[in-house]
Amino acid sequence: MDALLAALADPARWRLVSLLAEQSRSVGVLAQLTDARQPQTTKHLQTLERAGVVTSRRTGQRRIYTLRSAPLRELAAALGQLADLRDQADGPHATHDRYGLSVRAERLAAQNPGWADGRAFGFHRSLAGPPELVWRHLTEAALLAPWWTPQDLRASALVFEARPGGRIVQEYRDAEDVHDTNPVAGRAEGVVDDVRTGEHLTYRLSPLLPDGRPAFTAHVSMDLGPADTGTDLDVHWRITDSTVESADFVAGIETGFGQSLDKLAATLDTYAHETSTSTTDTGSTK
């Protein structure tokens, strides 16, 4: 495939392929049709033949070249698969495209400081596991770090002191930057306001702009309650102190935090399944 792509990348060779798609032709005729010298045309055709897209045979004093359709169809199929992967309805690109539309809209709205103040977002998730387990995943840094970022990011540093006045520090990087070689993708700092263990948590968190200033302040409230299937979690976001430069951050809240909660739900589902399997296996052994 690499040889084929390299061969087709040259405009002169692409022109030869187009002419051979119409019919088989000799080197001399192809040189005339492309206004090129015959040795140069022969060299291009040899490159195409090595790539497997054309074949040749000698007839008398002429060498006739013929286009092979199979490599082109294979290339078209491979390109089609890439396009389908990119355009899958619920794939990463769909999320990125939605974010791009949201960014454009928020940038238009962000004309003055305070432009997003009072903006609110609500989230609800029914989670596997009892409230005390969910609480640990909301407040213990080791359990919080794996889910508390959107899909394409990871927490590279995290402090969460689950007490009134406790510090919050969140630093995150690209998920695929496993060696921390690229610049930090973002940082947020905040403080815990209220804690009722297993029931209620409120905190303030501010993502930082590149110059270190807060982009805005998010007032986040989390309420947990027991449910038949585990725990109901309700989260409420409210924005204050929004700067003009905060548009890109605000645009990502609904999608980004929703993705984070989905990761939390998946983590707890896995934990519940593993616990159930372990219990079943223990019972069978007995």
Cα-trace Rg, the chain? 30
- Same-domain status, 43 and 143: no
> Could you identify the residue written with the tokens 């969460």?
160
- Same-domain status, 37 and 145: no
H/E element holding 207? strand 200-207
Residue 104 lies in a domain: no
> Could you identify the residue written with the tokens 């049709």?
33
Q: What's the rounded Cα separation, in Å, for the pair 143 and 204?
A: 20
- Same-domain status, 147 and 69: no
- What pLDDT band is residue 282 in, cutting at 50, 70 and 90? low
Residue 107 lies in a domain: no
Residues spanned by the domain of 65: 2-84
Structurally, how many domains does the chain consist of? 2
- Amino acid identity of 37? R
Q: Between the CA of residue 132 and those of 98, 199, 229, 230, what are the distances in Å?
A: 35, 9, 14, 10
Residue 100 lies in a domain: no
Q: For residues 282 and 221, which has the higher predicted lDDT (pLDDT)?
A: 221
Q: In 3-state terms, what secondary structure has residue 71?
A: helix
Task: Give this prediction's pTM.
Answer: 0.72
Q: Characterize the bridge pairing of strands 54-59 and 62-67.
A: antiparallel
- Same-domain status, 45 and 175: no
Lowest mean pLDDT among 12-21, 230-239, 270-279: 270-279
- Same-domain status, 80 and 151: no
CATH number at residue 56: 1.10.10.10
- Same-domain status, 141 and 269: yes
Is residue 275's pLDDT more than 90?
no
- Same-domain status, 151 and 232: yes
Q: 50, 42 in Cβ contact below 8 A?
A: no
Is residue 117's pLDDT more than 70?
yes
CB atoms within 10 A of CB 108: 9
- Same-domain status, 271 and 129: yes
CB atoms within 10 A of CB 177: 15
Predicted pLDDT of residue 93: 75
pLDDT tens per residue, range 24-78: 999 999 999 999 999 999 999 999 999 999 999 998 888 999 999 999 999 999 9
Q: In 3-state terms, what secondary structure has residue 233?
A: strand
- Same-domain status, 30 and 141: no
CATH number at residue 164: 3.30.530.20
Residue 218 lies in a domain: yes
- Same-domain status, 192 and 243: yes
- Same-domain status, 66 and 124: no
